[in-house]
Amino acid sequence: MIVYFSNVSGNTKRFVEKLGFPAERIPLSWDSASPLEVDKDFILVTPTYGGGNDNSTVPKQVVKFLNSSGNRGHLKGIIGTGNTNFGEHYCKAAEIISKKTGVPILDRVEIFGTPEDIERVRNKIDKHLPRA
């Protein structure tokens, strides 16, 4: 299973759809009364925000999702999406999440990925979360 966040641009959503795995989107508006909770292992796909400001690099919705110990406990890998124009901050959100959770970064993808990216990432996900 993939859990991902995509803002209104939909770039990360388009990337995840191309992968062909079951996926759950972290909502744009976080509902504290009815938060997204997962009960199975997943790979997180997240964009990077802020262009280098570490305080806004990880989308707030992703932070709220991972603040749940149940969700964090099922996190098995991270795939970062971003824009290489961010330079050293390219896919920085994945780095921050990996450092805080101890979960590996499986890959980094430019915006919504090339066909080669899709194939490479599918193979990495299959190694970490084999399909049933």
Mean of the per-residue pLDDT values for the chain? Answer: 90
- Can you tell me the mean pLDDT for 39-43? 95
Vertex 128 angle, CA 127 and 129, to 5°: 100
- Can you tell me the mean pLDDT for 53-74? 89
Total number of domains in the chain:
1
Please indicate, yes or no, if residue 96 is contained in any of the structural domains: yes
Please indicate, yes or no, if residue 35 is contained in any of the structural domains: no
Give dist(CA 119, CA 87) in Å, integer.
Answer: 24
Could you tell me the residue range of the domain that residue 79 belongs to?
A: 2-25+40-128
Q: Could you tell me which of 105, 64, 61, 100 has the C-alpha nearest to residue 81? A: 105
Please indicate, yes or no, if residue 106 is contained in any of the structural domains: yes
Query: Lowest mean pLDDT: which of 29-33, 65-69, 91-95?
Result: 29-33
Q: Is the pTM of this model over 0.85?
A: yes
